Structure 1
Amino acid sequence: MAQRPPPTPMLQAFVSAAQTGSFARAASELNLTASAISHQIAGLEEWWGVQLFERHSRGVNLTAAGQALLPVTDGFFKDLDAVLHSLNPGKSQPLYLSCTSSLCSTWLIPRMHGSHAESSFNLDLVLTSTDMNSANLGAHQYDVAVVMGYGDYPDHHVELLMRDAVFPVCSSAFYRENGDIAPADIARYPLIHRVDDLVCPGWESWFAFQGVAAPPYHHGPRFPDSSLAISLAAKGGGISLGRTALVYDQLEDGALVALSCPVMMSPAAYYIICRNGRQSEPNIARLIDWLKVSAREFLQEVGVKYPQICG
């Protein structure tokens, strides 16, 4: 006799947590609490009799069992959506736009404000904040995605969105207290770190670019998300590495100050991707065009106001 399937909310919690790598981000995506997600996952693990996640302080990772079950579970929701659409083809379907979490909160959402009323952008969108890479694209639901990497996304249409400069930033109060710190002296101050990052340059890379010997180990808070590290810097917690798109608005409102030193261009860039062949679909083409126009206008504005961080 076939095993009775688990409740749908458990499956949704599992898929969301697997795709975001965090119970907290899954909770935000599903409008639940992190505790509720944790209970749903625990219930599902008990239901199936397998451990699905390895829990750690920075988030969660799928176990071998979780990796085996994710494509089947995610495929269930995708297949269900496809069948429902075929049964009711006249009903419009929203576009799923996925964006790397830091860029989503600091650059994309502020520039979407008011744009939904413009004829060039009037699209029905579901926006998800997910860090995707070429290895885990199949685990995520999206029609268009903004990802950070090197442009190598097999079976996808790929267009460059923009590149970032990397430079140290601190709060206005921190700057007033300590002045414009020279690159050779930065290691003497509290540094805020970005961890578990395979594409964004960290302090070690920045010190090497400046020709400055980095300390063997520098104590300081470490965050799995760039926007979190930058937020602490804005509150006076030390110096963080900023990237142009992530800190521009806070430079504008005075929450952050960029220290004067040669900027380092990030070896990775932001790319727009969609599955091959879909770039010609009218709504997807409009969305890609809006993203590119927004990035071009943004970089032009940065070049006028802050040429030193354009690279």
Structure 2
Amino acid sequence: MRRRLPPLYSLRAFEAAARHSSFSKASNELNLTAAAIAHQVKKLEMELGVELFQRRPRGVELNEAGKEYLRIVERLLDDLTRETQLFKAQHRAQPIRIAALHVVSERLVRPLVQAFFSDHPDVRAELIADMVEPDFRSGNLDVVVWHGEIPPPQYPSIRIMSETLTPVCAPQLLEGFPAGMTMDDVQKIPALYDLYWDDDWTTWLEAAGGRDLQNSLGFSLYSAMIQTVREGGGIAIGHTGLLEKELKSGQLVKPFDLEIPSRKSYFALTTNEILRKPGVAAFWEWLAEATQAMDK
């Protein structure tokens, strides 16, 4: 016989009040009155036989017992949320939500997903931009394309692509140096960089034996940086894996022969629980085969 458990609405009221340290703020979040929140918390305390909060004139504060029980409730609600999302995904078609940095989503993930669609026209996907670190706790993401050296060991991973770093500029800018651009010339041209990858110039200059740059301009949007380079507004460190189209078409050129391997690669990450979703499993299997074919 299953023993009686505290009602879910009492647990939600307790968790919200604990997070906000306020019955009033918890009531706003849950669309209840503060009195209703206080009643549910008191009911839970009576059920447990222990007080969970210290009541104060300007709010409430968890006592030691409350802190201990909050950890239990948070784990319970997280598990329930995650399992509910998985259940829904297994019983109805939901889009695969794939997150990455904006430029990675635009230039790497989008072409991959479009190629995947040609083999799986019945699967839907959503691309989420500006995701830096993997975070699957909310249940809103299925795959994160992460840029780094070693993928977090707790996640299943697929290495999608490695790349090299080298300066790039517009052809018309390079034409201004008939004898070829030198390291001294680089000091006189605006050096452009992406704010997320602000150590790329240092990495390349160390390998090239160049001096630290003085004339530089950073961008939070990679596409804006590349547009500035194409217009002749400076020279940028290029991630060759993301600039294949511009380099092949001649919109951008490499003023130096030196290309250095990037220490970082692009990895797809997910969790074992999320791989239970049929659409994600299909995409994961396809991606593993596609990357193996690219490496050959």
Q: TM-score, normalised by structure 2?
A: 0.64
1:224 aligns with 2:225: no
Query: In the alignment, is the contact (CA less than 8 A) between 1:192 and 1:221 conserved in 2?
Result: yes
Residue 2 of structure 1, CA deviation: 4.5
Counterpart residue type for residue 195 of structure 1: L
SS in 1 for 2:244: helix
Number of the residue aligned with 1:144: 143
1:186 aligns with 2:186: yes
Q: 1:85 to 1:279 in 2, by over 3 A?
A: closer
Query: In the alignment, is the contact (CA less than 8 A) between 2:160 and 2:291 conserved in 1?
Result: yes
Counterpart residue type for residue 146 of structure 2: V
**Which structure 2 residues correspond to residues 202-241 of structure 1 after superposition, within 5 A?**
202-215=200-213, 218-241=214-237
Query: In the alignment, is the contact (CA less than 8 A) between 1:145 and 1:272 conserved in 2?
Result: yes
1:276 aligns with 2:272: yes
Q: 1:88 to 1:126 in 2, by over 3 A?
A: closer
Residue 233 of structure 1, CA deviation: 0.8
SS in 2 for 1:214: coil
1:5 to 22, 28, 43: 28
1:259 aligns with 2:260: no
Q: State, as a whole percentage, how many aligned pairs show the same letter.
A: 17
Q: 1:89 to 1:144 in 2, by over 3 A?
A: closer
Counterpart residue type for residue 102 of structure 1: V
Query: In the alignment, is the contact (CA less than 8 A) between 2:97 and 2:142 conserved in 1?
Result: yes
How far does the alpha carbon of each residue in 1:273-304 deviate from its partner, in whole angstroms, 9 at most, with x for none?
Answer: 1113544755323313433455566677xxxx
Q: Give the unaligned 5+ runs of structure 1.
A: 9-74, 301-311
1:287 to 256, 262, 283: 283
Structure whose CA Rg is larger: 2
Residue 269 of structure 1, CA deviation: 1.0
Q: TM-score, normalised by structure 1?
A: 0.61
Query: In the alignment, is the contact (CA less than 8 A) between 1:115 and 1:122 conserved in 2?
Result: no
How many corresponding residue pairs? 230
Query: In the alignment, is the contact (CA less than 8 A) between 1:183 and 1:261 conserved in 2?
Result: no
**Which range moves more in the overlay, 175-184 or 251-260?**
175-184
Residue 77 of structure 1, CA deviation: 11
Q: Give the unaligned 5+ runs of structure 2.
A: 1-22, 32-75
Counterpart residue type for residue 193 of structure 1: Y
Number of the residue aligned with 2:245: 249
Q: 1:168 to 1:122 in 2, by over 3 A?
A: farther
Distance 2:230 2:217 in 1: 14
Counterpart residue type for residue 190 of structure 1: P
Q: 1:5 to 1:273 in 2, by over 3 A?
A: same
Counterpart residue type for residue 104 of structure 1: S
Number of the residue aligned with 1:176: 175
Number of the residue aligned with 1:129: 129
Q: 1:103 to 1:292 in 2, by over 3 A?
A: farther
Distance 1:160 1:88 in 2: 26
Give RMSD over aligned pairs. Answer: 3.7
How far does the alpha carbon of each residue in 1:131-162 deviate from its partner, in whole angstroms, 9 at most, with x for none?
Answer: 3226x564683111111012241421122221
SS in 2 for 1:167: strand
Query: In the alignment, is the contact (CA less than 8 A) between 1:96 and 1:126 conserved in 2?
Result: yes
Distance 1:287 1:294 in 2: 10
Query: In the alignment, is the contact (CA less than 8 A) between 1:227 and 1:246 conserved in 2?
Result: no
Query: In the alignment, is the contact (CA less than 8 A) between 1:155 and 1:276 conserved in 2?
Result: no
**Which structure 2 residues correspond to residues 10-159 of structure 1 after superposition, within 5 A?**
83=84, 86=87, 90-113=91-114, 115-119=116-120, 122-133=122-133, 138=137, 141-159=140-158
**Which range moves more in the overlay, 276-285 or 206-215?**
276-285
